[in-house]
Amino acid sequence: AQTVTQSQPEMSVQEAETVTLSCTYDTSESDYYLFWYKQPPSRQMILVIRQEAYKQQNATENRFSVNFQKAAKSFSLKISDSQLGDAAMYFCAYRSFTGTASKLTFGTGTRLQVTL
Amino acid sequence: GAVVSQHPSWVICKSGTSVKIECRSLDFQATTMFWYRQFPKQSLMLMATSNEGSKATYEQGVEKDKFLINHASLTLSTLTVTSAHPEDSSFYICSARALYNSPLHFGNGTRLTVT
């Protein structure tokens, strides 16, 4: 079974600064998807960024980018120019590329605080 | 974009009663829906996978007779918590996707409190 580990329960960043959230995973599969989701106080799950394992290029979405190291099974999220609205729980998630269920496995989450 | 509506957003029920939570895909047909449970300050734990027209697949440790899932149409899945107890109090979230590799869309969640 796949596991996703987020070793940072809480992180803090000043507004306009950059922060990196860590995520490692364990799998025996070669093809899969990795995601970062944001859960603000409203509890709505919001997709931040997605990475296909077969792509070597790191995904980027505006101020959000990932550092995907397949061999090391590492998938960190970098948030640049942090904004107050970035404060939330961030979950790293894994999804198999094959299989009929293709369910998401979530990490334990990192609570990000953004300070003035 | 695709929207998943979950209802109710919060519910309080007495111990021993049953409560039904609905998850609707508003602008797409959801072949698969997932039900998650989230305890305070914890991650989302998958409870079951629901495919339209077939029985739900439950994760290990989830009581299928207690958490009844029905996915009778391509736009609606329901989770019924039967004979609820205080330990069932939690935040329940559904997600839905149209096709196998389609993005997952999440509902806003339902906070269940059993007194």
pLDDT in tens, chain A (116 residues): 789 999 999 999 999 999 999 999 999 988 899 999 999 998 899 999 999 999 989 999 999 999 999 999 999 999 999 999 999 999 999 998 776 557 889 999 999 999 99
CA B96 to chain centroid, in Å, comes to 10
Chain A CB contacts of B38 under 8 Å are: 43
The nearest CA of chain A is from the CA of B17 a distance in Å of 26
A91/B contact by beta carbon, under 8 A: yes
Query: How confident is the model over B32-87, as pLDDT tens digits?
Result: 999 999 988 889 999 999 988 888 999 999 999 999 999 989 999 999 999 999 99
CA B6 to chain centroid, in Å, comes to 8
The nearest CA of chain B is from the CA of A108 a distance in Å of 5
Among A43, A102, A103, select the one facing B109 at the smallest CB separation.
A43
Looking at residue A100, its pLDDT comes to 56
A36/B contact by beta carbon, under 8 A: no
3-state secondary structure chain B: CCCEEEECCEEEECCCCCEEEEEEECCCCCCEEEEEEECCCCCEEEEEEEECCCCCEECCCCCCCCEEEEEEECCEEEEEECCCCHHHCEEEEEEEECCCCCCCEECCCEEEEEC
C-beta atoms of A43 and B91 within 8 A: yes
- Of chain A residues 48-87, which have a CB less than 8 A from chain B? 50
B28/A contact by beta carbon, under 8 A: no
Indicate the average pLDDT of chain B: 92
Cis peptide before B103 (omega within 30 of 0): no
Confidence band for B1, pLDDT divided at 50, 70 and 90: low
Looking at residue A96, its pLDDT comes to 86
C-beta atoms of A43 and B43 within 8 A: no
Contacts of A52 (CB under 8 A, 6+ apart): A33
**How many residues would you count in chain B?**
115
C-beta atoms of A44 and B100 within 8 A: no
What's the Cα-to-Cα distance from B34 to each of A28, A29, B13, B19, B86, rounded to whole Å? 24, 22, 23, 18, 23
Looking at residue A99, its pLDDT comes to 64
β-bridge mates for residue A91, sequence order? A37
